[in-house]
Chain A
Amino acid sequence: GQQVMQIPQYQHVQEGEDFTTYCNSSTTLSNIQWYKQRPGGHPVFLIQLVKSGEVKKQKRLTFQFGEAKKNSSLHITATQTTDVGTYFCAGNNQGGKLIFGQGTELSVKP
């Protein structure tokens, strides 16, 4: 079945450093979504990418969707303590199934 792999599983950074998490799907996706889950909270939607090669920015966050629509990345520039949490990618296949990656847990040391 469809699998979505995400690396790394954990990332510890010093405040001000950059952070990147990568997502790979075993199948071509119709779109990909990114979510953030704060400690003790539930996943909250960040963004959706639909087009091949699409790049979107939200302040210090940059999201990319690969040309083959099978991989994606989230890059955070100059991390802040408010960025702490687990970041998940989630791929939509043609059947409407939303499959999540394992998530990358980001900790930021002030």
Chain B
Amino acid sequence: KAGVTQTPRYLIKTRGQQVTLSCSPISGHRSVSWYQQTPGQGLQFLFEYFSETQRNKGNFPGRFSGRQFSNSRSEMNVSTLELGDSALYLCASRTGDTEAFFGQGTRLTVV
């Protein structure tokens, strides 16, 4: 069974640009969650999608958005990038309240 796949693995963007990250969950998993990881801040919850609907949302500004497609693949978009958006973005898929399977993450650097 293939794991969670995130693309791209690394990204360098300039302040003010926008970026789209992609996540393909494990086959059969309909829940996809996104997290931002920065040193000392742990894993900050961005949002969760389930069956193409945003089910839960964290405390991030509206510049952070996402969506989920009918095949459960999910994308996350960040507009008007700021230096502070530099982080590792992780997505995780799961079924129900069970364990979350994480992808390798996308390392975003904003310069």
Chain A residues close to B by CB (< 8 Å): 1, 6, 9, 30-31, 33, 35, 42-45, 48, 88, 90, 92, 95-103
Contact = CB atoms under 8 A, between A and B. Distances in A.
Contacts of A35: 100
B100 A33 contact: yes
A33 to B, nearest CB: 6
Contact of B40 (A9, A30, A95, A101): A9
11 contacts: A6-B42, A30-B97, A43-B102, A48-B99, A88-B43, A92-B97, A95-B55, A96-B56, A97-B56, A101-B42, A103-B42
Interface residues of B, number: 26
Contacts of A96: 31, 48, 50, 55-56, 96-97
A88 B35 CA distance: 13
Contacts, number: 58
Given A1-B59, A95-B56, A98-B33, A45 B42 contact: no
Nearest to A95: B56
Q: List 9 tightest A-B contacts by C-beta distance, closest first.
A: A102-B42, A45-B99, A100-B43, A42-B102, A97-B56, A103-B42, A92-B97, A43-B102, A100-B42
A72 to B, nearest CB: 15
A88 to B, nearest CB: 7
B102 A44 contact: yes
B41 A102 contact: yes
Contacts of B103: 42
A85 B100 CA distance: 18
Given A96-B50, A97-B56, 14 more contacts: A6-B42, A31-B97, A43-B43, A44-B102, A45-B99, A48-B98, A48-B99, A95-B55, A96-B31, A96-B97, A98-B48, A98-B100, A100-B45, A103-B42
